[in-house]
Amino acid sequence: MKAFHEYKNPSLAVDLVVFGYHDNTLSVLLLNRKEEPFKDQWTLPGGFLQMEETLRDTCARILLTKLGMKEVFMEQLYTFDDPARDPRGRVIAVGYYALINPSKFGIVAGTMANDVKWFDVKQLPVLGFDHQQIFEAALQRLRSKILYYPVGFELLDELFTITELHELYECILQMKLDRRNFRRKILDAGYIVNTGTKREGLKNRHPELYKFNKHLKKNSFHISTPEQE
């Protein structure tokens, strides 16, 4: 057996799938690379792990320095190890996904540097490296997670109406959900709390505003979908 330090090590990177929700559209944040390889192509934000960092630290550093975001929801996805995934050499990438509310950081389409851009998940450009694969894993995880875990609140404002939450679910899952059954499911699960206030200034009846219940009793619910996968 070799001594501990004799092993050659691949580089270790994280790649981030940053989801944002705005105007009834689920988007992903992409960077336009200014260097080879994949110069002028769109890729996921990412970076190399520093020796003293945890993987979460690395993600947080990238989110803060490259994108100006902090304290966002984040979860590890999967570790991607195709030896050919990076033409520069052997790089193992740990995929993470993050959920952010774009309005919190004042970065919406058009106002950002032209090398950082939100893309509708339904209309992604060709991505460099194996980032298409990482993106797909993230979207799949988000879609299955939202069915049994209250993950949508990370994407909305602190106060929201049930209709807004409903639209978010339909947008992420890309399917129609019965409005009334959705409402009952979410309320029964105890995930949201009525604040007693209403959203004003709308044309029609003023809907009640809810907030996320951080101290919920039950720890799971289940939104049924016609095609379980």
Partner DNA sequence: TCAAAAGTGTTCGGTCTACACCCATGC
Partner DNA sequence: GCATGGGTGTAGACCGAACACTTTTGA
Q: How far is CA 113 from the centre of its chain?
A: 20
Q: Provide the minimum distance between the beta carbon of 195 and DNA in the complex, in angstroms, as a whole number.
A: 11
Annotate each residue in 158-187 with x if it binds DNA (CB under 7 A) or - if it does not, as one string.
---xxx--------------xxxx-xxx--
Binding of a copy of itself by 12 (CB under 8 A):
yes
Q: Which is nearer to DNA, 190 or 207 (CB)?
A: 207
Cα angle 176, 180, 181 (rounded to 5 degrees) comes to: 75
| Alpha-carbon gap, residue 16 to 44, rounded angstroms | 6
Determine which residue in the list 8, 205, 214, 217 makes contact with DNA, applying CB under 7 A: 205
Can you tell me which of 26, 28, 44, 49 binds a copy of itself, judged by CB under 8 A? 49
To 10 degrees, the CA torsion angle through 190, 192, 195, 196?
A: -70
DSSP labels, 64-124:
HHHH---S-EEEEEEEE--TTS-TTS-EEEEEEEEEE-GGGTT--TTSS-TTEEEEETTS-
Pick the piece of the chain touching DNA (CB under 7 A) from 19-27, 115-123, 143-151, 197-205. Answer: 197-205
Q: Pick the stretch among 20-28, 76-84, 120-128, 207-215 that binds a copy of itself (CB under 8 A).
A: 76-84
CB 43 within 8 A of CB 76: no
Contact 225, 175 (CB under 8 A): yes
Residue 26 beta carbon to DNA: minimum distance, rounded to whole angstroms: 19
Q: Which stretch binds DNA (CB under 7 A): 33-41, 84-92, 145-153, 220-228?
A: 220-228
The first and second tokens of residue 24, run together, are 């009834």
Per partner kind, with CB cut-offs from 5 to 8 A, the member of DNA, a copy of itself, none near residue 204 is DNA
Give the interface with DNA as residue ranges (CB under 7 A): 161-163, 178-181, 183-185, 198, 200-208, 222, 224-226
